[in-house]
Chains A and B, each alone.
Chain A
Amino acid sequence: RKEVEQDPGPFNVPEGATVAFNCTYSNSASQSFFWYRQDCRKEPKLLMSVYSSGNEDGRFTAQLNRASQYISLLIRDSKLSDSATYLCVVNVGGSYIPTFGRGTSLIVHP
Chain B
Amino acid sequence: EAGVTQFPSHSVIEKGQTVTLRCDPISGHDNLYWYRRVMGKEIKFLLHFVKESKQDESGMPNNRFLAERTGGTYSTLKVQPAELEDSGVYFCASSVIGGTEAFFGQGTRLTVV
Measured CB to CB, the residues of A under 8 A from B are 2, 4, 31-32, 34, 42-46, 49, 87, 89, 91, 95-103
Contact = CB atoms under 8 A, between A and B. Distances in A.
A40 B8 CA distance: 18
10 contacts: A44-B43, A95-B55, A96-B95, A97-B33, A100-B42, A100-B43, A100-B44, A102-B41, A102-B42, A103-B42
Interface stretch (B65-73, B74-82, B104-112): B104-112
A34 B103 CA distance: 12
Contacts of B106: 42-43
Contacts of B33: 97-98
Interface residues of B, number: 24
B101 A44 contact: no
Chain B contact residues: helix, strand, loop or mixed = strand
Most buried by A among B45, B101, B105: B101
Contacts of A46: 101, 103
Contacts of A43: 91, 104-107
A17 to B, nearest CB: 26
B102 A98 contact: yes
Nearest to B58: A97
A103 B43 CA distance: 9
A98 B42 contact: no
Q: Counting chain A CB atoms within 10 Å of each CB, which of B31, B43, B95 scores highest?
A: B43
